[in-house]
Amino acid sequence: MELEFDKQASDARGTILFLKYGKKSINIVEIKKGFARGGHYHTFETKHHVLSGMLEYREKNINTNQETIQTITAPAIITVPPMAAHLLTAITDTMFAEEFGEGYSAIEYPEYRNIVMQKMA
């Protein structure tokens, strides 16, 4: 089994490299300073391996509405539980790797997704 390049996508926030390793997906994600990514939640756990930079991490349990906000500095691992909306905003240029199993799906969380879109405007 080897790491395979699937595709890449870029916008004002930076570039994402989409990679596959067997049944696992690994995305290498760039967030330029001042931009945000996320604004959604999943029905499964994800991990974000912060490789470089510093970011503000917001997480809200969509069932209890409890929110936590942290400043994360590389190197670090952020484990996002299922049903937790999350938002990553770069304080400095930041790079992270996101891993998950088969069947990626995300449900937008408007409160956070609006922040992502506002920062891109």
- Beta carbons within 8 Å of 55's beta carbon, 6+ residues apart: 31, 71, 72, 88, 89, 90, 91, 92, 94
Q: 3-120 belongs to which homologous superfamily?
A: Jelly Rolls (2.60.120.10)
pLDDT of the residue at 21: 92
pLDDT of the residue at 101: 80
Please state whether the predicted TM-score (pTM) of the whole model is above 0.85.
Answer: yes
Q: Token pair for residue 78?
A: 């952020």
- Is residue 79 a contact partner of residue 51, using CB atoms and an 8 Å limit? no
- Is residue 84 a contact partner of residue 43, using CB atoms and an 8 Å limit? no
pLDDT of the residue at 87: 98
Domain ranges of the chain: 3-120
Peptide bond just before 75 cis, omega within 30 deg: yes
* pLDDT, tens only, 62-119: 999 999 999 999 999 999 999 999 999 999 999 999 988 867 889 999 999 999 999 9
pLDDT of the residue at 109: 97
C-alpha distance from residue 12 to each of 23, 34, 88 (Å): 30, 11, 15
pLDDT of the residue at 103: 77
